[in-house]
Amino acid sequence: DAGVIQSPRHEVTEMGQEVTLRCKPISGHDYLFWYRQTMMRGLELLIYFNNNVPIDDSGMPEDRFSAKMPNASFSTLKIQPSEPRDSAVYFCASSLSLAGVNEQYFGPGTRLTVT
Amino acid sequence: DAKTTQPNSMESNEEEPVHLPCNHSTISGTDYIHWYRQLPSQGPEYVIHGLTSNVNNRMASLAIAEDRKSSTLILHRATLRDAAVYYCILRDVEPYNQGGKLIFGQGTELSVKP
């Protein structure tokens, strides 16, 4: 398996533009997670899905952020409109379950820069 | 809301053992102790996990105190590629409990000197 795939790896955009980050989880994994990492706040869980259904979006910073999972092999995280404070590395991860015995597999991340 | 406490940074020499401590005094009976690490410019990766007994795998060993209030990740021979931030995380064993989410603290930044 190729692991969790994220695209693009780097994104530079101007303030006010829409940004869409993409993720393909590992086949067969029922859970998909979106994280954000900044120097100030570290790694934060934004939202996670179980069987394509959003379960907990309490980490989504504000309404400008939205996430979808139209099928088991694809998810998007959208920021509209983007702001400079959204600059961060965004990671997608997947796992078989939420149980504490199952590890999460992370993608390489998308480095977003909003100017 | 951190449930674990780790030193901010540690140093090691190449090919020497490294002991990374973690305190989790409020651990519950259903919490697994997980360790992840994040190499520079990469996503976090799973290292090891355990419940009560010490655990070994190809990457590391995990020593868990008898009262489970602390644990130690052991890298038997550190290499330059082990330089990373190491995170100690508690996760509930039950899948229906959102305690199974990964909540990252600040971790320990390990540097390895040649």
Instruction: Give the DSSP letter string of A75-102.
Output: EEEEESS--GGG-EEEEEEEES-SSTTS
Interval B103-108 mean pLDDT: 92
Cross-chain CB nearest to A103 (options B46, B96, B104) = B46
| Percentage of chain B exceeding pLDDT 90 | 78
- Measure the CA–CA gap between A35 and A75, rounded to whole angstroms: 13
- Tell me the Ramachandran region of residue A52: left when phi exceeds 0, alpha when psi lies from -120 to 50, beta otherwise: left
- Write out pLDDT tens, residues B85-103: 999 998 877 656 565 678 8
Contact criterion met (CB < 8 Å) for B95 and A98: yes
**How many helices, marked H, and strands, marked E, lie in chain A?**
0, 11
pLDDT confidence of residue A100: 64
- pLDDT bin (cut points 50, 70, 90) of residue B39 is very high
Average of per-residue pLDDT across B28-41: 92
State the Cα–Cα distance between residues A5 and B81, nearest whole angstrom.
Answer: 23
Closest residue in A to B89 (Cα–Cα) = A100
* Nearest alpha carbon to residue B90 among B70, B110, B65: B70
Asked if pLDDT for residue B2 goes beyond 60, the answer is no
pLDDT value at residue B1 = 43
Tens digit of pLDDT per residue, chain A (115 long)? 689 999 999 999 999 999 999 999 999 999 999 999 999 999 999 999 999 999 889 999 889 999 999 999 999 999 999 999 999 999 999 998 776 678 899 999 999 999 9
The whole-number pLDDT of residue A97 equals 78
Pairs of CB atoms within 8 A across A/B: 61
- Of the partner residues A56, A99, A107, the one whose CB lies closest to the CB of residue B95: A99
A93 part of contact set with chain B, CB < 8 Å: yes
pLDDT for B96: 61
pLDDT for B3 beyond 60: yes
pLDDT at residue number B95? 59
Chain A contact probe: residue of B48, B98, B101, B109 with most A CBs at under 10 A = B101
Residues of A with Cβ-Cβ distance to B31 under 8 angstroms: 100
Q: What are the distances in angstroms from CA B2 to CA A32, B25, B57, B62?
A: 23, 11, 27, 20
More confident residue, B57 or B98: B57
Asked whether the beta carbons of B12 and B1 are under 8 A apart, the reply is: no
A19 backbone dihedrals φ, ψ, rounded to 5°: -125, 135
Is A101's CB within 8 Å of B44's CB?
A: no
Supply angle C-alpha B63, B85, A2, rounded to 5: 95
The verdict on A30 touching B (C-beta cutoff 8 Å) is no
Q: Which has more confidence, B30 or B41?
A: B41
B102·A104 Cβ contact <8 A: yes
Identify the H or E element spanning A44.
strand A42-50
Nearest Cα of chain B lies from the Cα of A24 at a distance, in angstroms, of 15
A84 contacts A17 by C-beta, under 8 angstroms: no
- Percent of chain B past pLDDT 70, that is, above it, reads 92
Residue B59 forms contact with A (CB below 8 Å) = no
B1: tokens are: 């809301």
Cα–Cα dist A90/A82, whole Å: 14
**pLDDT digits 0-9 by tens, B65-80:** 999 999 999 999 999 9
**What's phi and psi for B87, nearest 5 deg?**
-110, 130
CA–CA dist B104, B46 (Å, integer): 13
